[in-house]
Amino acid sequence: MPIHQTLDELTVEYFTKHPEEIDGFVDEIFAEYAKDGNSAALLSALRSIARVKGVSNIAKEVNMSRQGVQKALSAKGNPRFDSINAIIQAMGYRLMPQRMGDTAVAESSVEYQVD
């Protein structure tokens, strides 16, 4: 019987093995969000990175429960801005505005190699 993994599980597995590629992935997911406004996709990607970095550790750092972090990063979570900002900071990043005409980050293309 074949064992199936979800895309989220594969993403977590990949970045657990290749943590040096997380920064590029984070840049890419925010660039995609800037283009399409798909918050569910952004939150799903952030949830995967939170799992790699440790949801419990992030929850402690931002004074939220583990479930609270998971809910904030869920597609139906409808998180508050300050919650997402705190979670992103706990993951080692920060939200930073970028002028709309500045395409240096928005047009970056990151390719990932699968082992």
Residue pLDDT tens, the chain, 115 long: 568 888 888 999 999 999 999 999 999 999 999 899 898 899 999 999 999 999 999 999 999 999 999 999 987 778 888 899 999 999 999 888 878 776 554 455 445 555 4
Distance, CA of 71 to CA of 82 (rounded, Å): 14
101-to-31, 34, 66, 96, 105 alpha-carbon distances in Å: 13, 12, 38, 15, 11
Contact between 87 and 81 under an 8 Å Cβ cutoff? The reply is no
pTM over 0.85: no
